[in-house]
């Protein structure tokens, strides 16, 4: 999904996208590669009439009175269109001036489009004081849009610190130089002992806020570029045929495109959060902006490179649009300065001031509902444990999204409030484990008798479940199962073997898939059974894992009788029931930390307490940025659900990225121990992280391997053709 989540932002994005498509089509971009466009560009007046230069500026200066998040939505669309000219640099420069004083008169000229501004992230400019004036000397290299601007916002070393000043272009020597992106001209800027009034200093603009504004807004344009590259590669892969079929059907191409959208989505989440942090003026602005700057320019560069690769030879031609967007990605990356600075900044802020909290701020209108829920949670807290367990089960608190009486039929908003209040009230709900994936299927497809028998004890934590889906020959290809169920009087005789069954040795009941019609197509002829694990013919043999633990199991089912009353749903329609269970599983895995894996806070603590060189800190910063953004993906999915959207397609991306980062945390820690990494004692730091590392190898396998997730992402999110 783009930056926009709520309807207002989506409308803004749609409006800007329509303008960009109209004023900057492909032929305009390619013409601008050969001949510089006019200044101001032909689209300038149309953009001003739509209020885009001032979307983030105060109404007192003719702006629309919105914030940096809204400007980020606009700039992402300009990035998607690779719009030529100075619009993005001018918007960033005006944001810097507005951060100093939103009522500054010059902003009226920028909001109306009468003036154009430019900025630089760093410079060698210095200023000395002479009475009430400043004398500025020095050079700023490769300033975007400097040749088109009438005002420049530049950092200057003054006294013992650095300040931002606004200088008129006619005071400066501006030398245009060849740009790697002809659509974004650059120039060197020199100040030859120019004298300016002291009021040109943006004294209310801190260096931290200025850098956060610049990098966040550049990141917004970068994710627009990355999204264009992803969409364009996927569209081409659908129609380009080689060896008699679309290249998007080849897994190598399919996975490349899926990795592109995963990179783009993660960076988009980071930019969205950084813009919100700036608007909130929170203490974690520097961290959030550094996360965005670590991920977004890299995503733009990788995705445009991969877009060229997917297109093959045609992608390497001057005439193709890939040329335009790759150049834009390169100049954007250069605009951030040294890329290594941002992961270092992520590490520094995370280990000192801390990471930006990830939470949901709900509408004030929900406070009445919150008060009611808080009162009920308080009453539960005052009960003794036995009565509380029953009350939690009977009150629908365990899985509140379920319909009554099994849940509370809670809306997404109510679910969020319940989770927050239980966490704040320190009341623990019964942990139902794998049953959280199975119960929704029983609620949706079960008979009244099945619901009454199985749900209440499950909600009380008295009935443990396992999931009997995978087989030695049917793991990710679940529909390939061969466990056979034959009808007999009063029920079924089932034989087969299941594997990788979590907690089967502790479970009373299992959710079992078996083939009931061998002649039916692959996804038909499967039935969903509820299996009593104490049934004669059921043998559970724990599997000793790579970790040395016994968590998974092989389950042998030898001519086991299952009564008709334990068929869940219709006979031969079990695939439909299983899809309900599998959907619940993927959302759960993608959205929560697992206690046997290293977590992001543990990694931050590990880095804070250790001593690492710059190379290691760079890698740690990348991991922290990726991990934080993966959590933001889940937050955005929740918010999209609250807004009435469909967040389910992003579950596969969340799982893919969350599991990878969990592995990365442990790999980083173990690699830092040197020879001590050989110590396997879990009571020692090396042994603890070794255990995390060993456990993590399963995470990119269970619940659908990463390769299967990539197929799902490519096929369902990008529309690439399914495997033959």
Q: SS in 3 state form for 248-290?
A: HHCHHHHHHHHHHHHHHHHHHHHHHHHHHHHHHCCCCHHHHHH
Summarize the confidence of residues 455-459 as an average pLDDT: 96
Residue 648 has pLDDT above 90, yes or no: no
d(CA 464, CA 508): 6
Summarize the confidence of residues 210-229 as an average pLDDT: 98
Token pair of 219 as six digits: 């990141």
Pairing of strands 509-515, 550-563: unpaired
Residue 592 has pLDDT above 70, yes or no: no
Asked if residues 311 and 236 have their Cβ atoms less than 8 Å apart, the reply is: yes
* Fold of the domain built from segment(s) 590-717: Butyryl-CoA Dehydrogenase, subunit A; domain 3 (1.20.140)
Residue 646 has pLDDT above 70, yes or no: no
Residue 35 has pLDDT above 50, yes or no: yes
- pLDDT tens track for 79-111: 999 999 999 999 999 999 999 999 999 999 999
Residue 588 has pLDDT above 50, yes or no: no
3-state secondary structure of 563: strand
Q: Tell me the pLDDT band of 563, cut-offs 50, 70 and 90.
A: very high
Q: Tell me the pLDDT band of 581, cut-offs 50, 70 and 90.
A: low
- Domain boundaries 439-581, corresponding CATH code: 2.40.110.10
pLDDT for 221 equals 98
Q: Tell me the pLDDT band of 365, cut-offs 50, 70 and 90.
A: confident
Summarize the confidence of residues 303-317 as an average pLDDT: 96
Q: Tell me the pLDDT band of 650, cut-offs 50, 70 and 90.
A: low
pLDDT for 583 equals 54
Q: What is the rounded average pLDDT for all residues in the chain?
A: 92
Residue 256 has pLDDT above 60, yes or no: yes
pLDDT for 705 equals 84
Specify the DSSP element, H or E, that contains 72.
Answer: helix 68-80
Same fold, 1-205 and 590-717: no
Q: What is the pTM of this model?
A: 0.91
pLDDT for 344 equals 96
pLDDT for 154 equals 96
pLDDT for 495 equals 97
Summarize the confidence of residues 660-680 as an average pLDDT: 94
The percent of residues in the chain predicted with pLDDT above 70, rounded, is: 96
pLDDT for 593 equals 64
- pLDDT tens track for 566-578: 999 999 999 989 8
pLDDT for 413 equals 84
- pLDDT tens track for 373-429: 999 999 999 999 899 999 999 999 999 989 999 999 888 788 888 888 888 777 888
Summarize the confidence of residues 690-708 as an average pLDDT: 87
Summarize the confidence of residues 468-485 as an average pLDDT: 85
Domain ranges of the chain: 1-205, 364-430, 439-581, 590-717
SS (HEC) of 577-642: HHHHHHHHHHHHHHCCCCCCCCCHHHHHHHHHHCCCCHHHHHHHHHHHHHHHHHHHHHHHHHHHHH
pLDDT for 585 equals 43
Summarize the confidence of residues 619-634 as an average pLDDT: 94
Class of the domain covering 1-205: mainly beta
């Amino acid at each position: 999904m783009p930056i926009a989540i709520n309807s207002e932002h989506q409308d803004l994005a749609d409006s800007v996208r329509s303008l960009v498509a109209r004023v900057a089509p492909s032929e305009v971009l390619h013409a601008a590669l050969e001949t510089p466009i006019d200044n101001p560009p032909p689209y300038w007046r149309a953009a001003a009439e739509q209020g885009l230069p001032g979307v983030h500026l105060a109404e007192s200066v003719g702006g629309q009175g919105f914030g940096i998040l809204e400007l980020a939505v606009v700039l992402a669309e300009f990035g998607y269109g690779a719009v030529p000219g100075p619009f993005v640099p001018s918007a960033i420069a005006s944001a810097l001036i507005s951060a100093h004083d939103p009522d500054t008169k010059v902003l009226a000229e920028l909001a109306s489009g009468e003036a154009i501004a430019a900025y630089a992230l760093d410079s060698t400019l210095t200023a000395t004081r002479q009475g009430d004036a400043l004398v500025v000397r020095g050079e700023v290299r490769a300033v975007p849009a400097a040749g088109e601007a009438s005002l420049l916002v530049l950092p200057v070393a003054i006294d013992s610190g650095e300040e931002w000043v606004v200088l008129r272009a006619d005071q400066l020597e501006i030398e245009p130089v060849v740009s790697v992106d002809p659509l974004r001209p650059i120039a060197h800027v020199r100040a030859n002992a120019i004298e300016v009034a002291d009021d040109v200093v943006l004294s209310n603009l801190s260096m931290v806020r200025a850098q956060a504004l610049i990098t966040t807004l550049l990141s917004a344009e970068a994710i627009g570029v990355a999204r264009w590259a992803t969409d364009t590669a996927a569209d081409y892969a659908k129609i380009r045929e080689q060896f008699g079929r679309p290249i998007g059907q080849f897994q190598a191409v399919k996975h490349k495109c899926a990795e592109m959208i995963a990179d783009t989505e993660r960076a988009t989440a980071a930019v969205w959060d950084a813009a919100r942090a700036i608007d909130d003026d929170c203490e974690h602005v520097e961290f959030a902006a550094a996360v965005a700057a670590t991920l977004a320019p890299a995503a733009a560069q990788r995705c445009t490179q991969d877009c060229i690769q997917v297109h093959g030879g045609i992608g390497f031609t001057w005439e193709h649009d890939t040329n335009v967007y790759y150049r834009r990605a390169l100049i954007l990356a250069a605009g951030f300065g040294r890329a290594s600075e941002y992961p270092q900044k992520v590490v520094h802020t995370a280990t000192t001031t801390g990471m930006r909290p990830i939470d949901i701020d709900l509408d004030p209108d929900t406070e009445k509902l919150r008060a009611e829920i808080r009162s009920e949670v308080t009453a539960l807290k005052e009960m003794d444990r036995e009565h509380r367990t029953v009350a939690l089960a009977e009150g629908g608190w365990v899985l509140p999204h379920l319909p009554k009486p099994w849940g509370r039929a809670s809306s997404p908003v109510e679910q969020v409030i319940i989770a927050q209040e239980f966490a704040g009230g320190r009341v623990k709900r019964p942990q139902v484990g794998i049953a959280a994936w199975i119960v929704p299927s029983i609620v949706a497809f079960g008979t009244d008798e099945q619901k009454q028998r199985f749900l209440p004890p499950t909600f009380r934590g008295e009935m443990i479940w396992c999931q009997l889906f995978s087989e030695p020959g049917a793991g990710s290809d679940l529909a390939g199962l061969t466990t056979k169920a034959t009808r007999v009087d009063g029920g079924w005789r089932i034989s087969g073997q299941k594997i990788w069954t979590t907690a089967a040795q502790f479970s009373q009941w299992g959710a079992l898939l078996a083939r009931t019609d061998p002649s039916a197509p692959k996804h038909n002829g499967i039935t969903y059974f509820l299996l009593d694990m104490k049934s004669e013919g059921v043998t559970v043999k724990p599997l000793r894992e790579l970790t040395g633990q016994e968590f998974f199991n092989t389950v042998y089912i030898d001519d086991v009788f299952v009564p008709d009353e334990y068929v869940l749903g219709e006979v031969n329609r079990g695939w439909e029931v299983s899809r309900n269970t599998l959907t619940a599983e993927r959302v759960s895995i993608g959205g929560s930390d697992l206690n046997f894996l290293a977590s992001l806070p543990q990694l931050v603590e590990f880095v804070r307490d250790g001593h690492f060189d710059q190379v290691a800190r760079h890698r740690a910063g990348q991991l922290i940025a990726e991990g934080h953004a993966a959590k933001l993906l889940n937050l955005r999915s929740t918010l999209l659900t609250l807004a009435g959207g469909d967040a389910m397609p992003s579950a596969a991306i969340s799982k893919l990225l969350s599991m990878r980062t969990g592995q990365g945390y442990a790999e980083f820690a173990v690699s830092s121990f040197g020879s001590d990494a050989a110590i396997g004692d879990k009571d020692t730091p090396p042994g603890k992280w070794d255990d995390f590392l060993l456990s993590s190898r399963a995470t990119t396998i269970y619940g659908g391997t990463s390769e299967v997730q990539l197929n799902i992402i490519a096929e369902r999110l990008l529309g690439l053709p399914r495997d033959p």
